[in-house]
Structure 1
Amino acid sequence: MVTESPDVTSSYDTELLDHVGSLRSDAQLMEEYARRLRATAATLDGCPAAPAWSRPALERQAAACVTAAEQLRTAAEALLAHARAGD
């Protein structure tokens, strides 16, 4: 009969929880990138030398960052649920 040591399971759970934290941190970073991209787009909006395509491109990039942040949070919650199910 093969059994797992409690230390192995605990280590696995700790790794999962660490990864959940990393995913959440990455989501926050993506939201910060979106904020910066939008701020840059707003700054360029008042600049006559800025190419016409720059603001829409920055807005699309910001939207992609927000989507990525949502996906990272969803992944973190799914991983957390998985870790809790193992308890």
Structure 2
Amino acid sequence: MVTESLRATLAPADQLLTHVESLRADADLMDGYARRLLATAAGLGGCPAAPDGSRPALERQATACTAAARHLRTAAETLLAHARAGD
């Protein structure tokens, strides 16, 4: 069996910084989605025609969006630290 060693290729710092900015922008979007979901859930509170479970489902989705935003920001900070370490 022939094995080939793979070399890790490092992305240039400017490319990593672009990814950091993209991750942060995506996190901001996820926070925005969470706010919109919570606003919709609040609006359904006074709507008797809203299906049962709508509000809790929207609130769970908002919580998931908030968690995703937090994870994206953590990934951005980790990538930024990696980019700085390579300088």
TM-based fold match above 0.5 = yes
Structure holding more helix per residue: 1
Q: Under a length normalisation based on structure 1, what TM-score does the superposition of the two structures give?
A: 0.87
Displacement of 1:52 in angstroms is 1.4
Stretches of structure 1 that go unaligned for 5 or more consecutive residues are 1-8
Tell me the residue number matched to 1:68.
68
Q: Which runs of 4+ in 1 moved over 3 A?
A: none
* CA RMSD of superposed structures (Å): 1.2
For 1:3-54, what per-residue CA distance to the aligned partner results, in whole angstroms no more than 9, with x for missing partners? xxxxxx8x71111000000000000000000000000000011100001110
Tell me the residue number matched to 1:40.
40
Q: Percent identity?
A: 71
Tell me the residue number matched to 1:4.
none
1:1-87 equivalences under 5 Å are 12-87=12-87
Corresponding pairs, count: 78
